[in-house]
Amino acid sequence: MYAQLQMPKSHGLNDSQLNFQKCILTGNWLMIISLLIVSTSVLISFPFEQYFTIGSQIVAHISTIIFAAVIKIGYVVRCVGVHGLGSRV
């Protein structure tokens, strides 16, 4: 089994497996952080728009698009790591 969010203390992996494990961890963290940013920007853009300036709403709309793409990139990076460790999805 591979680690989900942090590297185990004694991993016992060779260099190739360690690189794929890092891909999994990087992909997971990219997806988590991007999801939090997208959720915040959607909240700023739609239900709470009256509390924010037009400039911050513009930034929130743009960041929604950008970080939604980063979620997809994180998923692809994670899939590369999982595939490299031999798991079939």
68's enclosing H/E stretch is helix 54-84
7 inside domain: no
Number of domain units in the chain: 1
Q: Can you spell out the DSSP letters for 23-52? A: HHHHHHHHHHHHHHHHHHHHHHHTTTGGGS
Burial of 49 (0-12, 13-18, 19+ CB in 10 A): middle
Domain hosting residue 67, numbered range: 17-84
Longest dimension (CA), the chain: 54
10 inside domain: no
Q: Please, which pLDDT band fits residue 16 given cuts at 50, 70 and 90?
A: confident
For residue 3, the model assigns a pLDDT of 66
Q: Is the pLDDT of residue 1 over 60?
A: no
Q: What is the pLDDT of residues 50-81, one digit of tens each?
A: 999 999 999 999 999 999 999 999 999 999 99
52 inside domain: yes
For residue 89, the model assigns a pLDDT of 65
pTM: 0.87
67 inside domain: yes
